[in-house]
């Protein structure tokens, strides 16, 4: 008889940018490649990366030479809660 069942998920977390105690985080495998975050970023700092995730999608990454001001617009727009800003306590 089955007594217990567990679903275990390995979550790959990528830090796309880190500055002044803030981080832009991506849950890489959660991304479905809609690129709404790329469209909404006011600085146009995001682009599709060159690395596939488990879904066969190229998740976003920060463009070389671009900056993030941690405005959170990508976080507010992402339908899958894959990209978000966190404050790092020191
Ligand atoms: S909005 Fe979310 S799901 Fe869409 S590309 Fe960006 S991180 Fe991926
Ligand atoms: S937090 Fe703001 S500036 Fe940074 S990538 Fe997202 S939308 Fe662009």
Q: What is the pLDDT of residue 82?
A: 97
Residue 43 lies in a domain: yes
Tens-of-pLDDT digits for all 90 residues of the chain?
888 888 777 889 999 999 999 999 999 999 999 999 999 999 999 999 999 999 999 999 999 999 999 999 999 999 999 999 999 987
Q: Tell me, yes or no, whether 66 lies in a domain.
A: yes
Q: What residue numbers bound the domain in which 70 lies?
A: 13-87
| Ligand 1 contact, 46 CB (< 6 A) | no
CATH number at residue 39: 3.30.70.3270
- Ligand 2 center to residue 69 CA distance, Å? 6
CA distance 2 to 84: 38
Ligand 2 pocket member 68 (CB < 6 A): yes
Q: Rounded CA gap, 30 and 28, in Å?
A: 6
* pLDDT recorded at residue 79: 98
- Is residue 2 domain-resident? no
pLDDT of res. 9: 74
């Amino acid at each position: 008889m089955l007594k217990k069942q567990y679903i275990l998920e390995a979550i790959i977390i990528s830090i796309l940018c880190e500055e002044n105690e803030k981080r832009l985080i991506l849950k890489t495998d959660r991304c479905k490649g809609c690129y709404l975050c790329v469209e909404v970023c006011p600085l146009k700092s995001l682009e599709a990366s060159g690395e596939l995730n488990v879904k066969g999608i190229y998740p976003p990454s920060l463009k070389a030479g671009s900056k993030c001001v941690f405005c959170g617009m990508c976080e507010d727009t992402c339908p899958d809660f894959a990209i978000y800003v966190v404050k790092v306590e020191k």
